[in-house]
Amino acid sequence: MTSINSAQVIRNNSIYQYELKNFLKYLNYDIISLIPFENDPKKVATHVRLFTEINILTGKEVFKWNIEEEAKRLQVHNKRLIDSVTDIVWQSRITCSQKQRFESLSNGANDINQKMRQAVEDTRNSISQINVTQETDLILPDYFYNGTTKFNESSNMDSLILGYSKEY
């Protein structure tokens, strides 16, 4: 490594350390210790399903949402910095009882989402086992109730586009 590269790394690290100290200094610790979503696991579960790719939520991830909100307020956009501050504050500034509240909320949300995933899977399995055809006189309900098997039975492209009559 050249001396120019070494100096650049040291300078970048110094800037990062300065930004880290400032972020920690200006954090509103009263706000970041609040439990989000009114401590409602249903709201957290919904948020996780709709806006994240998280499968199993942890208390620390819930806490990180508060850090991210503070980062917006402080106009901090560096993800690495946000992750570092989350780790530092979680390890050194948040009490055990606060951590337990975040963990409890995340566990409640995980339970809700697990039950929902199981219900969806059960429904899919039930639907996939239906093999009784439903007879109707109209083409759209026929395709709806019987799936795409009717499409595949006909090799006539016109019948796929225009439909078919049961009188043929």
How do the domains of the chain map onto residue ranges?
A: 3-130, 133-168
DSSP string covering 132-154: -----SSHHHHHHHHTTHHHHH-
Record the tokens describing residue 120, joined without a space.
């969806």
What tens digit of pLDDT does each residue of 116-140 get? 999 989 888 887 777 777 778 887 8
Evaluate if residue 162 carries a pLDDT over 90: no
Tokens representing residue 60 in the block: 């620390």
> Is residue 71 very low, low, confident or very high in pLDDT (cuts 50, 70, 90)?
very high
Quick one: DSSP state of residue 33? Answer: T
Triad 164, 166, 168: Cα angle to 5°: 80
Predicted pLDDT of residue 9 = 75
Mean pLDDT for all residues in the chain: 86
* CA angle, residues 23, 29, 32, in degrees to nearest 5: 95
Over residues 56-67, the pLDDT tens digits come to: 999 999 999 999
What pLDDT does 1 receive?
52
60, 22 in Cβ contact below 8 A? no
CB 93 within 8 A of CB 32: no
Which whole-number Å values give the CA distances from 135 to 117, 141, 166, in the listed order?
A: 32, 9, 10
CA-to-CA distance for 52 and 36, rounded, in angstroms? 15
List, for residues 5-28, the tens digit of each pLDDT value: 777 777 788 999 999 999 999 999
The reported pLDDT for the residue numbered 161 is 53
Closest CA to 66 of 27, 18, 93, 105: 27
Q: Give the percent of the chain with pLDDT over 90.
A: 62
CA separation for the pair 167, 19 (Å, rounded): 77
Residue of higher predicted confidence among 151 and 129:
129
pTM of the predicted model as reported, rounded to 2 decimal places: 0.73
